[in-house]
Amino acid sequence: MEVVQVLHMNKGAGETSYAKNSKVQSKIISITKTVTEEAIIELLCKNFPESMGIADLGCSSGPNTLTVISEIIDIIYSNCSNLGCPTPELRICLNDLYSNDFNDVFGSLPAFYNKLKEEKGTDFGQCFITGVPGSFYGRLFPRKSMHFVHSSSSLHWLSQVPPGLDSKASTAINKGRMYISKTSPQSVLDSYMLQFQKDFSLFLKSRSDEVVPGGCMVLSFTGRKSMDPTAIESCHQWELLAQALMNMVSEGLIPEEKVDIFNAPYYGPCAEELELEVQKEGSFIMDRLEAFEIDWDGGVDMPNTINGTLSSGQRVAKTIRAVIESMLESHFGRDIMDDLFQRHADLVDKHLAKTRTKYTNLVIRIMLKKLPLFSDVFQGALIYLICQLVKMFLYHGHQESTASIPPGTGGLPLIGETLQFMASINSGKGFYDFVRVRRLRYGNCFRTKLFGETHVFVSSTESAKAILNNELGKFTKKYIRSIAELVGDQSLLCASHQQHKMIRGHLANLFSTTSISMFIKMVDELMVETLSVWEDGSTVVILDEALKITCKAMCKMLMSLESGHELEMLQNEVAQVCEAMLAFPLRLPWTRFYKGLQARKRIISILEKEISERRRGIQTFREDFLHHMLSEDDKASSDESPRLTDAEIIDNILTMIIAGQDTTASAITWMIKFLDENQDVLEKLRNEQQHLAKKASPKSCLTLEDLSEMPYASKVIKESLRMASVVPWFPRQALQDCEIEGFKIKRGWNINIDARSIHLDPMVYNDPNKFSPQRFDDESKPYRFLAFGMGGRTCLGMNMAKAMMLVFLHRLITTYRWKVIDSDSSIEKWALFSKLRSGCPVHVTRIPNDAYYL
């Protein structure tokens, strides 16, 4: 069977036509619209092309074909209007196999052009629509001519039936089945998998030549959640059809051999396979991978000339028939088609009645971005090397067979899934994407291998409670090696259980109400000073400004460091340490990790010098945390707990700078972005803050009492922290064998509580992606809100962080109005804490007459 010749959707407008039976595919297109919009807006904002190449691969014929391009044109038109720029010239290429009904497509173009003119007027740029027949598993367009490539419901079709399984093969090895099934021999699975790898990499390679650097692809197709290609979710639709054929064989209507040698040119990949192929090919970055279930019942209004309403099974069968009839017909002949699909419909009905479920399939949607030019050469080479390694070991890292340990894969020998982990860190979605993809596949508890160690991720409030409470002392905190080395082994973050108790006792004394009150005054002064130099009408980057303030505040509170040069130096060194936190722990001079270690050394010498000068009485008295840690008569030492050593003091000062400045600055940045996106919340907040500002005397500093009169602002902060999950996971280590979520956890394994998934779980929070501070009107139940952790390791600086955020909000809102000018939500690469890559630039306008304080 030559797929190129026989695969096409049912032509015309008859009852079994694709035009009349493609509601499901239309639904998939509409679900993908938001991502298409996001991709196009980014293209327009970052790289405004005069002439824009757009391709729709596997466009088919019928109403969906022009829906896709009409949506794309709408997005471009409305965004160009918003940006005040002319629409680019559009070169739209509609692609499908040669046998597609292009006549039908072209026939509908005049009406389409007329509608375009009517709706968009004459100022809409030129739009050239062409048909490009051919297989997308090969080159279709000139080099670097495409900016945006779209494909929906097509890429699950392979370029051919895997060799050895097609009708030319000498023996039939997948007898009585037409796709992978539980009872298929391993060679069938291997053949399908290899064909998919070959095809998908060829697809990527071809697009890599055609798509401009920085261009983007949004692709959706059916796939599966499970790593196992024989999982029922991915095979059931083919099995029912094979069963219908076998029923006909048993009645002598078709020869058995005909069924035995028929195999579908189809493969529904899982997320991991896709990710791996993208990494192997190396020209694109997987910016997004999502999956959703789609019901194959096309709805009650599907065409039916026979009479009466159609059963669900009949509607499913019609939807499937419109897609695959051409292939079946070329092999089995036209005569049996009605009978076959009637039997298929009956089997689907029986299946639905038995399982009491819907007939669903998993649709995977990915957004791939072409690397920019520099990376094309450099990163591509690097990724190629890595991928050769991956290729060598692919599928050697097999699933462990013990059923009771958490699902997941050990990945490659030694390095496990470290490469995929690093690739996520290097993408705009941040390392959390690594977790998200696996959670999608394995559920609330999964296992992986990173940096040579087993890691389990859990994401339910029950597990969070059991682990964070740690009543039975089964868990201890443990960071990955790179983090542990950078913060130091005496740091509160890495200390052993006993040592942690002692150090935390010392440090907790420092965070008294008196020091928080002093801290609020100091942050307020810094904030007022910072705002006073912003120019009216200028653009400021919130992350940069927040970092300056939080760093100054932390350094002043910890060690009275105020001088511009020293402070700036320290800030740079701390930034380098933070950047190295997730790097591969290689000590070679050019590596990020090595640079981080060097920066740590320099910070240590600054602190050692400071401690030595204080000890020798060279410096004047300074009321700061360092002073209290050095003094003999602090509360902890009078309680006869041992004093902190210099190494403990140094590691923990560094820990507090890292734990306090980046986190708080990132949280502030997200908060400003969320507020800008939710003007109703901002308005309510503005009322609260202005009310407070009117009460206070101008020029006076904010106090702890003032902050307690900001209930709505406190909820805004909480909601921002929930949505942003600045610290997305909390690492622990199992000290003994135990059980979590019904899975066995072995002693020594790393257990990570996935706070971000809990924060965005619809079972925990209603409409979790909506920014809604009022959801905290009722005290949230324990272990649902984990922004500052819980239990014995709860954030020590929680009140300081909240204070900094409240002061920032109050001063900003009462002094300026702002508009975010880059809505990009990408996350900073290599950052331990979720940080907006754009830094959130805003255009600020001073509120007239300095109404409140300044």
Q: What are the binding residues for heme?
A: 795
650 binds ligand HEM (CB under 6 A): no
96 or 634, CB closer to ligand HEM?
634
196 or 625, CB closer to ligand HEM?
625
Contact 290, 367 (CB under 8 A): no
Query: Distance between CA 289 and CA 519 in Å, rounded?
Result: 43
336 or 502, CB closer to ligand HEM?
502
Minimum CB separation of residue 727 from ligand HEM in Å reads 4
Minimum CB separation of residue 500 from ligand HEM in Å reads 6
Minimum CB separation of residue 90 from ligand HEM in Å reads 45
Minimum CB separation of residue 556 from ligand HEM in Å reads 13
Query: Distance between CA 793 and CA 509 in Å, rounded?
Result: 15
787 binds ligand HEM (CB under 6 A): yes
Stretch that binds ligand HEM, among 36-44, 75-83, 605-613, 652-660 (CB under 6 A): 652-660
Minimum CB separation of residue 523 from ligand HEM in Å reads 11
Stretch that binds ligand HEM, among 448-456, 516-524, 662-670, 821-829 (CB under 6 A): 662-670
Question: What x-and-dash track marks residues 728-767 binding ligand HEM by CB under 6 A?
Answer: --x-------------------------------------
What sign does the CA torsion over 561, 565, 568, 572 have? negative
Residue type, 791: G
Residue numbers belonging to the annotated binding site: 795
In whole angstroms, how far apart are CA 809 and each of 251, 521, 542, 775, 795?
76, 15, 12, 20, 21
Q: How many residues belong to the site for ligand HEM (CB under 6 A)? A: 24
CA angle 679, 680, 682 (to 5 degrees): 60
- Longest Cα–Cα distance of the chain, Å, equals 102
In whole angstroms, how far apart are CA 20 and each of 30, 177, 248, 258?
17, 29, 27, 30
801 binds ligand HEM (CB under 6 A): yes
656 binds ligand HEM (CB under 6 A): yes
In whole angstroms, how far apart are CA 256 and each of 369, 482, 543?
47, 61, 68
817 binds ligand HEM (CB under 6 A): no
- Helical ranges in 47-172 per DSSP H: 63-83, 102-107, 109-120
Stretch that binds ligand HEM, among 9-17, 163-171, 260-268, 782-790 (CB under 6 A): 782-790
Strand order in 146-152's β-sheet? 127-133, 89-96, 51-57, 146-152, 211-223, 360-370, 284-295
397 binds ligand HEM (CB under 6 A): no
Minimum CB separation of residue 795 from ligand HEM in Å reads 3
Query: Distance between CA 591 and CA 821 in Å, rounded?
Result: 34
For 135-162, letters b (16+ CB in 10 Å) and e give bbbeebbeeebbbbbbbbbbbbbbbbbb
Minimum CB separation of residue 812 from ligand HEM in Å reads 16
Calculate Rg over the CA atoms of the chain: 30
Query: Distance between CA 97 and CA 57 in Å, rounded?
Result: 9
Stretch that binds ligand HEM, among 248-256, 524-532, 760-768, 784-792 (CB under 6 A): 784-792
Minimum CB separation of residue 692 from ligand HEM in Å reads 22
442 binds ligand HEM (CB under 6 A): no
Minimum CB separation of residue 643 from ligand HEM in Å reads 19
In whole angstroms, how far apart are CA 188 and each of 195, 222, 401, 741?
11, 19, 21, 35
Stretch that binds ligand HEM, among 74-82, 139-147, 675-683, 795-803 (CB under 6 A): 795-803
Candidate residues 97, 324, 458, 493; the one interacting with ligand HEM per rule CB under 6 A: 493
Question: What x-and-dash track marks residues 494-533 binding ligand HEM by CB under 6 A?
Answer: ----------x-----------------------------
- Cα 123 to the center of its chain, rounded Å: 38
Helix 798-815 to helix 711-724 angle (10° resolution) is 110
Minimum CB separation of residue 508 from ligand HEM in Å reads 9
Half-sphere exposure of 822 (CA within 13 A, CB side): 19
Contact 791, 818 (CB under 8 A): no
Query: Distance between CA 815 and CA 143 in Å, rounded?
Result: 52
Minimum CB separation of residue 527 from ligand HEM in Å reads 15
Which token pair is 282? Answer: 């190396």
Residues 417-436 that bind ligand HEM (CB under 6 A): none
457 binds ligand HEM (CB under 6 A): no
788 binds ligand HEM (CB under 6 A): yes
**Of 186, 128, 191, 203, the residue nearest 162 (C-alpha):** 191
- Tokens 């190449």 belong to 53
What sign does the CA torsion over 97, 100, 106, 109 have? negative
Candidate residues 100, 409, 664, 689; the one interacting with ligand HEM per rule CB under 6 A: 664
Candidate residues 444, 459, 655, 752; the one interacting with ligand HEM per rule CB under 6 A: 655
- Helical ranges in 171-311 per DSSP H: 186-210, 232-250, 256-260, 271-281
Candidate residues 477, 506, 614, 810; the one interacting with ligand HEM per rule CB under 6 A: 477
Which token pair is 561? Answer: 């460091």
- Helical ranges in 300-336 per DSSP H: 312-332
203 or 670, CB closer to ligand HEM?
670
716 binds ligand HEM (CB under 6 A): no
Minimum CB separation of residue 682 from ligand HEM in Å reads 20
Strands 453-458 vs 750-754: parallel, antiparallel or unpaired: parallel
479 binds ligand HEM (CB under 6 A): no
Stretch that binds ligand HEM, among 178-186, 298-306, 675-683, 787-795 (CB under 6 A): 787-795
Containing 247, the helix (H) or strand (E) segment is helix 232-250
580 or 787, CB closer to ligand HEM?
787
793 binds ligand HEM (CB under 6 A): yes
399 or 496, CB closer to ligand HEM?
496
Residue type, 785: F
271 or 755, CB closer to ligand HEM?
755
261 or 753, CB closer to ligand HEM?
753
Contact 151, 57 (CB under 8 A): yes
367 binds ligand HEM (CB under 6 A): no
Contact 327, 7 (CB under 8 A): yes
797 binds ligand HEM (CB under 6 A): yes
Residue nearest ligand HEM (C-beta atom): 797
User: Which residues of this chain interact with ligand HEM, rule CB under 6 A?
Assistant: 477, 492-493, 504, 655-656, 659-660, 663-664, 667, 721, 726-727, 730, 787-789, 793, 795-797, 800-801
